[in-house]
Amino acid sequence: MSNQGEILRYIDSIARDKEIDKEALIVAVEQAVAAALSKKYGIDDLEIRLDRDSGNWECNYEIDMEQQGRILAQSVKQAIITRVREAERDNVYGEYEQKIGEIVSGTVQRFEGDTVIVNLGRNIEGILPRAEKVRTESYNVGERIRAMILEVKKVGPRVKVILSRAHKDLVRALFELEVPEIADGTIQVRRIEREPGYRTKLAVDSADTKVDCVGACVGVRGNRIKSIIDELNGERIDIIRWNDDSQTLIQNALKPAEIAHIELDPQARKALVLVAEDQQSLAIGRKGQNVRLASKLTGWDIDIMTRAELERTVEAEDKAGTDAEGGGTASETTGTDAPDHAAQPAPTEASAPEAQGNSD
């Protein structure tokens, strides 16, 4: 590589093949050659430049570049290798950074402890850490999986692409792929909550009153939501119609349970929800999943009770308050509080028709 013009041709070829900025590559070569010659001759202020047109070296000291064959060749080679690796890393980082939140496909390559290494192609590895795996899922070497890009970071000469199968935005991204109305903004995903592998609640809204947001997400005969459920290995998905009215939103969030009445405490952000006895287990859900996700989705602390449980709770609180007052005999206390106790159930029973009306 002692021929002056050969260096420029070599650099130009590498820049084109690796899609690297040619000027940046020349600067890296200049810096490497300057460092090598400075070390060889013990010069601290040596400056050297490669002419972009002729390929000749220009130096502030009289150094015969034709005599620097081995040093020159090694310096140029090492500088190009280093810069190519850095450029490839930067290109990969830039490409995948733009894809954060999107879904990618890959093949399970190997396991490192509880971490799954996924081959994303082009010698790029995705990392699925334990915290981002779904506990109900198992993975096998050679198996193709889809995951969401959660984070991209530079680590030395490599780029780490962190994947997730457990993040709630994975469900959002799947709906964007399956439902064109979400992708084009006609339908908005207002809120989403998820317990990975078990259940997800998705609140949607439509900017166009003619578009049924829930129906569009479900698809004809459920074809759209079915493909998403299959991708999530059977995870249950509840699609809820968003409403700015808190009572209506809570009622929608607790579906498929039928709600008799909702009482809100705005200051404490608590909601007391009354249901029939045969609806209570449905409203609470398996291991409390339904009410727990509904609470997160709506932002209200939801308490599910039957009317009988409410009456017993009120009676217990009244009795506790009476006992705390003291200052009289049992007969006197009972006599004093009897009218209050007798009157207490009446409003509760009277509210039943009103609650039923709200439900309808």
Tens of pLDDT, residue by residue over 112-153, are 999 999 999 888 999 999 999 999 999 999 999 999 999 999
* pLDDT at 87 exceeding the cut of 90: no
Q: Which of 111, 240, 133, 139 lies closest to 197, judged by CA? A: 133
Query: Left (φ > 0), alpha (ψ -120 to 50) or beta: where does 101 sit?
Result: left
Q: Using the 3D structure, point to which of 164, 190, 212 is the last residue of a domain.
A: 164
Pair 8, 72 in one domain? yes
Pair 360, 262 in one domain? yes
The pLDDT of residue 326 is 58
Q: Round to whole Å and give the CA distance between 108 and 115.
A: 11
Span 254-267, average pLDDT: 94
Q: Is residue 156 very low, low, confident or very high in pLDDT (cuts 50, 70, 90)?
A: confident
Query: Three-state SS across 224-269?
Result: HHHHHHHHCCCCEEEEEECCCCHHHHHHHHCCCCCCCEEEEECCCC
Pair 29, 111 in one domain? no
Percentage of the residues of the chain whose pLDDT score is greater than 90: 62
What residues have CB less than 8 Å from 250, skipping those under 6 apart? 259, 262, 271, 273, 294, 298, 300, 302
The pLDDT of residue 325 is 65
> What Cα–Cα distance (Å) separates residue 139 from each residue in 144, 165, 171?
9, 12, 19
Lowest-pLDDT range of 270-279, 286-295, 336-345: 336-345
| Domain span holding position 119 | 103-164
Q: Residue 22: inside a domain, yes or no?
A: yes
Q: Is residue 359 very low, low, confident or very high in pLDDT (cuts 50, 70, 90)?
A: very low
Tens of pLDDT, residue by residue over 31-75, are 999 999 999 889 889 999 999 888 888 898 888 887 877 888 888
Q: Is residue 5 very low, low, confident or very high in pLDDT (cuts 50, 70, 90)?
A: low
Q: Residue 17: inside a domain, yes or no?
A: yes
Pair 259, 359 in one domain? yes
Q: Is residue 4 very low, low, confident or very high in pLDDT (cuts 50, 70, 90)?
A: low
Q: Using the 3D structure, point to which of 242, 269, 299 is the last residue of a domain.
A: 242
Q: Round to whole Å and give the CA distance between 114 and 100.
A: 23
Tally of structural domains, the chain: 4
